[in-house]
């Protein structure tokens, strides 16, 4: 028997400046890394998400934006 789960991706705002976004997956410990072109990655930890975002930002010459609404600032200090 095969089971599947649909993962709801965060909604994207309209006409944001181009940047790599890091947002928490709602209700879990996962994090999404979103590109302005609509690609996204689901990472298992903030550390993994920031590493992916940093790599993408360097290669696409973009800034990184971290949405803090669902992320404890102390969690970011521990990673950075």
The answer to whether the beta carbons of residues 42 and 48 sit under 8 Å apart is: no
Mean of per-residue pLDDT scores for the chain: 78
**pLDDT > 90? residue 52:** yes
Which pLDDT value is given to residue 66? Answer: 79
**pLDDT > 80? residue 79:** no
Handedness of CA 12, 20, 16, 69 (dihedral sign): positive
The per-residue pLDDT for range 14-50, each reduced to its tens digit, is: 545 688 989 888 788 889 998 888 888 999 988 899 8
Question: Where exactly are the structural domains of the chain?
Answer: 19-79
Which pLDDT value is given to residue 26? Answer: 79
The answer to whether the beta carbons of residues 50 and 22 sit under 8 Å apart is: yes
Which pLDDT value is given to residue 10? Answer: 57
Which pLDDT value is given to residue 2? Answer: 54
Q: For residue 31, report the phi and psi dihedrals to the nearest 5 degrees.
A: -135, 140
| Model confidence, pTM | 0.66
């Amino acid at each position: 028997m095969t089971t599947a789960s649909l993962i709801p991706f965060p909604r994207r705002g309209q006409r944001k400046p181009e940047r790599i976004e890091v947002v928490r997956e709602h209700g879990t410990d996962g994090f999404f890394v979103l590109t302005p072109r609509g690609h996204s990655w689901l990472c298992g930890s903030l550390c993994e998400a920031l590493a992916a975002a940093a790599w993408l930002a360097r290669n696409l010459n973009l800034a990184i934006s971290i949405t803090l609404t669902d992320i404890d600032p102390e969690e970011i200090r521990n990673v950075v």
